[in-house]
Structure 1
Amino acid sequence: MDDYLAECSTQHGAHLAALKLHRVQTAAPALWGMPYASMIAIVRRQRQRAPKMKRRSKTDSLLALIGRLPDEWQPGLVARMGSEPGNRKLKWSADHLNSVTHALLRWLAWCDGSGNDIRPAGMTFHAYACDLSAEGVSKRSASDYLGRILSGYSTACDPGFASVACEHVISGLNARGKVEGRPTKTGEQLVGASTIFDLGMEIVGNARALGPRDLFAARDYRNGLLLALAAAVPQRARALSHFEIGRTIMLLEWPCLHVRLPGSALKLREYEKEYGGYDRVLESPGLWDAIDEYNRVFRPLFDDGNAMFPSILEVGARVSAARLGCLVGNLTHAHLGVRVSVHRVRDNVATEASEELLGGGYIAPVLLDNRNPATTMASYDHAQGVRAARDHIKFVASRRSYSSTLRL
């Protein structure tokens, strides 16, 4: 088949050759069976392999970003990229360092445009927060931005700098932000973890019914597994991007699955990632069967790798964490009518656990792998409110009318 495609490409061009092979692939299931259709899909995929451009590493990208700051500020931030001897807690994660650097760049631009001193002060922090609010930034986000600026300034420019006035502005914004709530989270997004899991398995079933005819069926199967796994293993998008069959997700004796993630895939402090991790055993017959079939039949259509969520555009690459979050939102919006982010899926798991499980308020933090139970308290409180509202509706309905025999 590979020889046929090469010869056809020489005679008619690569585009027409791919079109001819696609037509052969469409008829292959009826003529020779699904295995031959899968083989043709793999050949087509391999012919798409092109030389990859070398991507800039995260370290190089961070160094380039820090290089946009004043020269005297750069050594302090660069030092946070490595751990100093005897104190690993000084090391920052690449994501946090990236956020702090961006916050400092925006702060410098604002100070330059408004004529304010770059040295943080209570009045300038308040003025900056007002401008952020005018741009539509929430109180909680403004508090985060100011906290990063203060942290970065005391690290890069003036080591040991502290300001009670700045801390007061940050804490005030944070308190008001908690009262306002998060604008990115709405009650409509609480559709239930089981609903999301069932939707994922439904998409898997639809792709299974079509059979492994082409890469698009494999893509649908992959997307269904993404939703199901996001609900079954309520981790962040960063962790989902590390899912790899046989390495981080292993099929044990049916119907058990072993999920083991390194600390680098989790939201932990940098010095905790060396010994931290996620290690769980799940029991799910449907998910076990789906992953097993995906690994045997659909996954090879992408490439010869083991990534659970491979890219459909680039051979040998996996879907990034940011793209996984976008996929989950697109799928839930298309099928459920509401956009549910990956992090909101975690809230759905906590809420459903609090509603349906005995002692769910204690179980939910374990499901979400939160060290502090207060982190899941908002979801638990919401669940208690949902349960109370449900009981109240039943009570009102029972009192609304009653039946009796009228004797005349």
Structure 2
Amino acid sequence: MRDVIVVGGGIVGLATAYEVLRRRPGADVLVVEKETEVARHQSGHNSGVIHAGVYYAPGSLKARFCREGAARTRDYCTEKQIPFADTGKLVVATTPTEVQRLQDLTERARANGLTVTPLTAVALREREPHITGLAALHVPASGITDYAAVCRALASDISAAGGVVRTSTAVTAITESVTSVALSLDEDGWHSVESARQVIVCGGLQADRLAAMSGLNRGAESFEIVPFRGEYHRLPASRNHLIDSLIYPVPDPDLPFLGVHLTRTIDGGVTVGPNAVLGFSREGYRKGSLSPRDTAAFVRFPGMWQVARTHWRTGLAEQRASWRRRGYLELVRRYCPELTVEDLLPEPAGIRAQAVLRDGTLVHDFLVRATERTVHVCNAPSPAATSAFPIADHVVDLATSAGLAG
């Protein structure tokens, strides 16, 4: 019997296994990942931003973990010689309503312990000559890196510490007893069972289904992972000079999305995006992807109907921008007016695993649930990549409190 099995080879799962082995050298730790390699989903399909912690409610897990996680991400990248850059971020207001929201955001950022600087329209232009707005907020603590490279380094460290990372291995059942947890596994068509004293599940896009296997997703407290496609474009190399820092719009405080932004990438390019379009396949990255199983799941879920009633205007606007490149362009031209539709080159999409509660609440914070011998990370979208190391601490602390993983 193993000491700990971690389900999920994204950055949160890998950081969790890494933390178990750091605390307990020589522990028998197995990571199982259903894809052929680590970081195939959210961890490898994102903006690459090291978030500072501007947006999150003071005292929330996101607010607590993001700032610490940013520092630890930089430390780990330095140790492993993974490139990163401290670019800073500008959050740009382009309407009077957004100016008021920006003031609220400034107060929230300061409540979260961040040093930020409000900028006038003139000061914004001086800092970023190609960006326009009524006001802006400068956040120097934001940066960029390559999270897929971080995942590969973590997988290597786990193996070096005696752990095992097993890819192409899907979990088909979780059976918990008084003394152990048994996982039924499908590895390239071969069925097997692995048992451990403790199982930690970092399932991302499949978090709800894995939680249901442990009896943690039933009744009034149930949740559904709803996939939101984040569609990106990339600017041509001739336009990379347009920005020096990361450029974000002011987000809608009622939604857990940050809006279409301009992001410098660690390879020297600039991406545009993501939007947030309802997806009809949890792992279908191509436009038009459809999974009958995934679609039926959220159509049957009562909470999704409440989300649709509350946010249908926003959803329709996002969908229109997805259908038309010019509509997408309008979202970014609000603050970068010299961009043209020809500047929006193809770039792979991402998919956000967004937990929705049965009453229609979009879960804004990280969500963790547990049984006696399992811990499930149920909602860990952005800034989970930035926050992966403190999330891992939190999850292992929960396991340790039961005397199992510590």
Q: Which is bigger in relative contact order (C-alpha 8 A, separation at least 6)?
A: 2
Question: When the two structures are superposed, what TM-score results if normalisation uses the length of structure 1?
Answer: 0.21
Question: When the two structures are superposed, what TM-score results if normalisation uses the length of structure 2?
Answer: 0.21
| Higher-Rg member (1/2) | 1
Which structure has greater strand proportion? 2
